[in-house]
Amino acid sequence: MVDLAPAVAAVRSFNRSYTKVIGVLEEGLLKSPYTLTEVRVLFEIAHAGPEGATVARIREDLGLDAGYLSRILARFDTEGLVLKRRAATDARRGTVELTERGRGIFSGLDERSSEQVGAWLSRLGAGERGRMVEAMGQIGALLDFQAVGGPVTLRAPQPGDYGWVVERHGTLYAAERAFDETFEADVARIVADYAGSHDEEREAFWIAEVSGRRVGCVACVRRPADDGVDTAQLRILLVDPAARGLGVGRRLVEECVEFARKTGYRRMMLYTVDGLTAAHRIYHSLGFEIVHQAAVQMWGHHLVEQEWVLELA
């Protein structure tokens, strides 16, 4: 049986610290007369469509007891924050929308919340902010993926996928490694070269999905070799932070290696740079070895470029 005690303790410790930081233990959230739950209900109403939010949907989305939600809405009604109506399509399903006073109250709370978060973030450097946002994205996505379920699936690119690959590379590496726009330009050239012309028998491109959501990519292309050995190159491996820890990267690399073997390549190689620990761990576990590395100046940084090789036959 898996011992979950250390993980449970770590999550509970984080929860205690985080709830103290954001002030939910105080009598009123953001120094207001409203609790966290009440502010969350206001948020749902404020972001509903033009027909208002249905009470049933608020209850379902927030997982609230019907009686508890009814008391919250009764308070809002008494204070002139909301206007209750019967749903146009179903008289049994009431809707609720913010009054002008309600919009003013919510706007002030929303502004104070943004200021509070901005104050926390201002104490961090750019790299630290990037790591924190990435970690939050991973936590949210892991919980979401677990709730939705579904395995990692790989497929060929469809319209819009190539643009997504370029955008995700540019955005993620700017946030996580502070790479400049020349990195995104290099990725765009690689993708454009493949999309414009490639050998359908001996080259391939995969998009990874979880629960119908794009979470990664990789490509296998032919690489001319000076020694005449038929060589494949693994390119543009990427796993979205939201899906890290789900085995997406390993699945993509394994698929790429297996394709190269079946297609008859005798060797697979790849170029990478120092610091990409998770990817390097996958390469090493599958038998890749570093055959050359050198200091380079590119993408706005001094980096160490590495060439990894895996003999396939």
Q: Please report, rounded to a whole number, the percentage of residues in the chain having pLDDT higher than 90.
A: 55
pLDDT band at 2 (very low <50, low <70, confident <90, very high): low
Confidence of residue 54 (pLDDT cuts 50, 70, 90): confident
Percent of the chain at pLDDT exceeding 70: 92
The whole-number pLDDT of residue 88 equals: 59
Supply the Cα-derived Rg of the chain in whole angstroms.
25
Is the predicted pLDDT of residue 89 greater than 70, yes or no? no
For 203-250, what is each residue's pLDDT tens digit?
Answer: 999 999 987 889 999 999 999 877 889 999 999 999 988 788 788 999
Report pLDDT for 263. Answer: 96
In the structure encoding, which two tokens stand for residue 19, read together?
A: 């709830």
Q: Average pLDDT for residues 286-302, to the nearest whole number?
A: 96
Distance CA 217, CA 204 (A): 11
Would you place residue 146 in the very low, low, confident or very high pLDDT band (cuts 50, 70, 90)? Answer: low
Confidence grade of residue 77 (pLDDT, cut at 50, 70, 90): very high
Does domain 5-121 match CATH 1.20.1340.10?
no
pLDDT for the residue numbered 1 = 53
Q: To 10 degrees, what angle do helices 66-78 and 55-62 make?
A: 120
Q: What is the pLDDT of residue 129?
A: 84
pLDDT-wise least confident of 122-126, 241-245, 287-291: 241-245
- The mean pLDDT value for 27-42 works out to 85
- Assigned superfamily of 148-311: Gcn5-related N-acetyltransferase (GNAT) (3.40.630.30)
What b/e string do you get for 179-198 counting C-beta neighbours within 10 Å, with b at 16 or more? beeebbebbbebbeebeeeb
Range ranked top by mean pLDDT from 69-73, 122-126, 295-299: 295-299
3-state SS assignment for residue 225? coil
Spell out the domain ranges in the chain: 5-121, 148-311
pLDDT digit string (tens) for 187-199?
A: 999 999 999 999 9
Average pLDDT, the chain: 88
Long-range CB contacts for residues 229-232, cutoff 8 Å, separation at least 24: 229/266, 229/267, 230/264, 230/265, 230/266, 230/267, 231/265, 231/266, 231/267, 231/268, 231/269, 232/202, 232/260, 232/263, 232/265, 232/267, 232/268, 232/269, 232/312
Range from 2-16, 61-75, 174-188 carrying the lowest mean pLDDT: 2-16
Q: Please determine, for residue 10, whether its predicted confidence score (pLDDT) is greater than 60.
A: yes
Looking at residues 46-63, what average pLDDT do you find?
Answer: 83
Encode pLDDT of 161-180 as tens digits.
999 999 999 999 998 899 99
